[in-house]
Chains A and B, each alone.
Chain A
Amino acid sequence: MSTAFQSSSRKSWRLATGFASTALACAILLGGVSAWLLGSVAIAGLSAAAVTFNFHTPAAFIRLFAVGRTAARYGERLTGHKAALADQISRRVELFAAMAAAPAVRRAGWQLGDDSRLADYLDDVEDLDFARLRAGLPALTLACGLAVLVAGSAVLAPLSLLPIIILLLAILFAGNRVARAGAMAWRETRSLRRGGASRLGAAIASAVPLKAEGAWNRECTEALAALSRADGAQLALRRLQAMLDMVAAALGPVAGVSVMAAAWYAGTQGTELLAPVLLAFSWLALGETMNGASRMLVAVLRRNAARAEIGQWTRGTATGRREFALDDIRPGQLLHGGLQRRAPDGRSIGTPISLLLARGQPTLLVGASGSGKTSLLKQIAGWIGDDAFATDDRILSAGERRALVSLVLHDAVVLEDTVRANLFAGDAPDAVLWRALEAVEMDGRIRDAGGLDSWVRQDRFSLGEAQRINLARAWLSSRPVVLLDEPTEHLDEAQGERILERLLARFSYRIVVVSTHRAPPLRDVRTIELQP
């Protein structure tokens, strides 16, 4: 991300920290000084000193603290969010790049294409985005406030430190318990939620068989029970939090009472007691900010869990993730003498096959569902495995092939963006884009939707329409190797054949591989039949 944004984020955090400390200081002093003022005037009011008492200076300070607390709180909230948002932008852009380089994206079945997994992922990202605002910043100012007041207590009423420190230790102990048990509860919550969600998903996917066999209610209830057990784990965590909050809420009042008691025990009297009164009321004011103690801790544990979880996605990412620039290479053929076919998880499928993919003669991969067509296309594309293919005069590694290949996935999706952006054709002229849409018979539909610059979303299109947009992307691609995975899926037979024929005519000078489970009547193709 741009350094400008980083420096603005750093500035915002500094500002937010300043505001937060000011707000806390004003809040503490507002309570303390007000009480001190009342005490002093009450004593002064007993004697002639009332007339000479300088009332206006402390009164002005009190007004200043009142206004200062309000303003600084507002500033703290605003700059804190500004800083967190600036961090969010850079973190999310980096995360996007890292995710794009993660091998998991290229394997079968993109898990984050699934709504519930995506929602969990976004929760994690948000926990990461806002941990500093929710935990880091308040914890820092709270610690400063505590340090100042503890120091003050040590000077004014040393004996009061005994209960204060005992209580602080109790808070640490309870916090430690929450941290440990909480991390476990949170882990349990997550795994139960995920288990329940995937079980429910499996049940919904098999709704007809389950209902026919009379097993729906049992499966659905069990899946929902897992989700409720996850809520139960959350309940356990909240109960622990309540314990910590109780101890933390007692700190302010207990410290205030202890300061007064210690001062009284030390024999302090009259005006000398005013300083302890100030301190005691300051403790009370600080106590108010201790209320969110457990929430800070939970924000930290959620951040840690989120970090670990997100790390899972980007693990195994190669460092050099930039694409190879191979613009000048237009291979006439791709050759592999003994390609060991592999499933996406690395298991080998069948015996090695020899593969010759030549320009001008499309290759048809035919096979039943589960015969590994998509996996083979991904292997050719360099998305899985690290096979090397020979071309006319050189060897192409998997990474190099990734740059050469236009892989048309059968489960490709529509981005929430304009139609133009969805075609991924850079700044190609409108006429070219319309030509592509005509070729896939989507021009009318897009015109109705509002043209190339209309904003579209996945759910506005049927599966067949999304598939045709995907084929328009292939039409517009200029890569020398085109791999089409089930291009006629979700299309009716005649339309599928028309579009496929147009695409093959356009790609006549490129290497083309088409996978399909029903062989269309095409001339001049080599057919490879795949057995599982």
Chain B
Amino acid sequence: MKTQVVPAPVPDSAAATPGTFQSLSAAERLARRGLRGLLALQAVRTVLRLGFAATAAMAAGRLVMGETVDPWLVAGMIGMLATACLAGFAAERVQASAENAVSTRLRALAGERLGKMPARQLQSLSTGALIVSMQRHPESIAALVVGHRAATAMMAAGPLLAAIALCFVSWQAALLVICLTPVMILFFALVGNAIRRRADAQERAFGRLAGQFADRVRTLPTILANHATASEEAKLGRRLEGYAGETIGLLRIAFANAGIIDFFASLSIAILAIFLGLGHLKLATIPGFSNLELWQSLFILMIAPEYFAPFRRFSEQYHAKAEGLAAAAALDRLLDAAPVTACPLPVLDRLRLTLPAHGLVAIVGPSGSGKSTLLRRLAGLEPGAMPAPGTRLLAAEEIAWVSTDAYVPEGTLAEAISWNGGALDRSRLEHAARAIGLLDDALLPGGLDARLDKGGANLSGGQRLRIAVARAQLSGRTVLADEPTAKLDRATAEAVRRMLIGISGARLVVVATHDRDLAAAADLVVDLTRDDTVEVAA
């Protein structure tokens, strides 16, 4: 639920090292212009509202006292009301646009950061967390640096403007509301501390129960497979009840915050109304509250709530602050994750490898000996690893990468095969797809027009790999293949081998493989079996 009152840890921006991703300061920079416009509009709106209150009080007071009301006063009142509404409208639109601009640009910045991140590190991130972060966090941060910052600034400016307006009529009344403020802030601090203590205690005792519903939905198939639906349902009910009870206990204090503002706003009206009433009756002579015109009293009565309104608006923004800070911290954590260090493979550092212009090169060796790492180094995907002199760097060339995690866009099989390869005519597509056995696949009905889900969700690793092989054949690029025949049935593996060998007739094909048949067909074998020797045999 959104009524989370646990303050988020404030990221320590001073401790951050240069070159790190600081989403909050980046967002602040992006927000600067929009924020300025927003604040100007909100200030204009506040001034106009105060002006409306003044003129309305004047008109009403004069009417009641039987005095004449200047038509210009009425015109001014209506004009100010209309422009105040328009300024409010403009302010909201500006706020929405500014937040949107910040979130869009922040997301683009994060995207650039992802682009610079090495593939190995990218893979070490939790995919789900990364998606949630990219989707939601820029928006939360934008709400913090625009909406919340504006509310903070207005909390200073709004009451000040209201107090100035009061001064025109009675500086004593202004003094009264100003004097109430520190008392209110004292209460705030007390309540704030109580909330924090209580929230910490709750976090310790009940933090575990916070995500139980989400966790049980996430784990549903496992629960079902273990025949535990009924018991988990009962347990979930108990835990939700326990958590709700605790939450209510916390809210009881948290709502005191809003209660304090309500109390002081109400109290100020009550005190002022009574002082002003006594003054009018001449029952008491309170300086600043006696000998006032009715319109002046009404004016004071109308302005007093305006003095407290910015405080309320600020306290309503509490979640925006907590969420924004948490989002910024999460995004920074994700994009600044410590680089994943590859386990050292001295054998690769000593490797001298001269790759031919075309032909099949097989990298063999047991699991963990560095086959895939070597392949990634050749493609320039391993930062920091200096290629040995004499090693031909393939990163500068156009590469077609073949593996079971090949990228498959949404669309038809034909689109998947021609992806990243420009326009290809259909007969070539069909030929390649047939040769690799994609057209007579029972799990992929419809031939070249078979629908593939987004991200190839309905494809097996073997099918993805075969799409990548067909793509590699049509692309004319240098081919790097990571375990191209593992997890395939015999016939398909044979088709893949045949096609890779075929490609190697005209281009360079480097495969990292366990497959003896494939290695046997290679023109060059790089054997990483033993730590100290690298056998390169033709």
Contacts and interface: CB of A to CB of B under 8 A. Distances in A.
Contact of A220 (B3, B111, B274, B305): B111
B220 A55 contact: no
A150 to B, nearest CB: 20
B222 A413 contact: yes
Contact of A38 (B277, B404, B487): B277
Interface stretch (B196-204, B265-273, B355-363, B527-535): B265-273
A31 B131 contact: no
Contacts of A118: 128, 214, 217-218
Interface in B26-71: 52, 56, 59-61, 63-66, 69
B339 interface: no
Interface of B: 1-3, 52, 56, 59-61, 63-66, 69, 77-78, 81-82, 85-86, 88-89, 92-93, 96-97, 100, 103-104, 107-108, 110-111, 114-115, 119, 122-123, 125-132, 134-136, 138-139, 208, 211-233, 235-237, 240-241, 244, 247-248, 251-252, 255-256, 258-259, 262-263, 266-267, 269-270, 273-274, 276-278, 280-283, 294, 297-298, 301-302, 305, 376, 379, 381, 398-401, 403-410, 420, 441-443, 445, 454-463, 468, 480, 482, 487-489, 492
Contacts of A368: 462, 487-489, 492
Contacts of B59: 260
Given A66-B266, A209-B405, 7 more contacts: A2-B237, A30-B270, A45-B281, A106-B221, A204-B125, A209-B401, A370-B459
Given A212-B399, A349-B443, A89 B269 contact: no
A39 interface: yes
A93 B213 CA distance: 8
A220 B269 contact: no
A217 B111 CA distance: 8
A461 interface: no
Contacts of A479: 227
Contact of B85 (A216, A227, A246): A246
Nearest to A466: B222
B315 to A, nearest CB: 12
B217 A96 contact: yes
B131 A116 contact: yes
B226 A477 contact: yes
Given A114-B128, A370-B460, A205 B399 contact: no
Interface residues on A, range: 35 or more
Given A45-B282, A238-B92, A369 B217 contact: no
A319 B262 CA distance: 50
Given A74-B262, A105-B220, A199-B454, A210 B407 contact: yes
A429 to B, nearest CB: 18
Contacts of A89: 237, 240-241, 244
Nearest to B376: A208
B96 A369 contact: no
B221 A42 contact: no
14 contacts: A35-B298, A38-B277, A43-B65, A66-B269, A70-B262, A100-B224, A112-B218, A122-B213, A122-B214, A238-B93, A253-B52, A269-B66, A349-B442, A409-B225
Which among B266, B381, B400 has the greatest number of chain A C-beta atoms within 10 A?
Answer: B266
A5 B492 CA distance: 60
Interface in A200-233: 200-217, 219-221, 224, 227-228, 230-232
A471 B92 CA distance: 56
B89 A246 contact: yes
A65 B263 CA distance: 11
A207 B401 CA distance: 11
A67 B264 CA distance: 10
Contact of B281 (A41, A130, A238, A288): A41
B489 A532 contact: yes
A389 B241 CA distance: 43
Given A235-B100, A424-B228, A74 B256 contact: yes
Contacts of A370: 443, 459-463
Contacts of A181: none
Contacts of B273: 34, 37-38, 59, 62
Nearest first, the 8 closest Cβ-Cβ pairs linking A and B are A115-B128, A370-B460, A202-B455, A66-B266, A206-B407, A242-B92, A368-B489, A246-B89
Nearest to A193: B135
A376 interface: no
Given A208-B405, A209-B403, A260-B59, A38 B135 contact: no
A235 B236 contact: no
Contact of A55 (B277, B408, B459): B277
A92 interface: yes
A277 B64 contact: yes
Nearest to B81: A253
A249 B298 contact: no
Nearest to A195: B454
A224 B240 contact: no
Nearest to A49: B281
A13 to B, nearest CB: 15
Given A343-B443, A349-B443, A39 B96 contact: no
A436 B128 CA distance: 32
A147 B413 CA distance: 62
A250 interface: yes
B488 A66 contact: no
B277 A37 contact: yes
Nearest to A230: B135
A107 to B, nearest CB: 9
Contacts of A65: 266, 270
B403 A208 contact: yes
Contacts of B379: 211-212
Contacts of A213: 398-401, 420
Nearest to B217: A112
A81 B63 contact: no
B138 to A, nearest CB: 8
Contacts of B247: 81, 85
Contacts of B492: 368
B213 A45 contact: no
Given A235-B96, A243-B89, A415-B222, A274 B64 contact: yes
A157 to B, nearest CB: 12
A270 B64 CA distance: 5
A414 B127 CA distance: 18
